[in-house]
Each structure stands twice: as structure tokens, then as C-alpha cells.
Amino acid sequence: MSVDITCGKCGEKISTMQMLKSVKDVMKHYNNKCPSCGQVLSVTEFLLDVEKK
């Protein structure tokens, strides 16, 4: 299973996790901002696409 974290504002794929970790830890790595558009993101503004394989 992999989880894509996508910016809810611009649609940029920010990160892909191989397992479901804390989304907040990933956001902290990016200073809670989208690296593409600079939009400050909250958890609810991330789109999580979970693909079961």
C-alpha cells in the first residue's frame, strides 16, 4: 500500500509514503507549506490517495 500526499490547492504531488505514517510528520518536513505553490496547508487540505496493491 502506498499513500500519495497531494496539495489540495495546486494538485502538486508532495510526497509518497510506502506506509501510513503520521501526515503531520511529513507536513513538518515541508514547514506545513506546499513546496510547489507555497500554500500553507492543514491536514484537511492534503488529499490522500491510498492505493491498495
Q: Please give the residue ranges that form the binding site for Zn ion (CB under 5 A).
A: 7, 9-10, 12, 34, 36-37, 39
- Report the SS3 class of residue 40: strand
Q: How far is the CB of 2 from Zn ion (least distance, A)?
A: 20
Q: How far is the CB of 52 from Zn ion (least distance, A)?
A: 26
Residues whose CB falls within 8 Å of the CB of residue 21, separated by 6 or more in sequence, listed in order: none
Dihedrals phi, psi of 48, to nearest 5 degrees: -105, 115
Q: How far is the CB of 17 from Zn ion (least distance, A)?
A: 18
Which CB sits closer to Zn ion, 1 or 24? 24
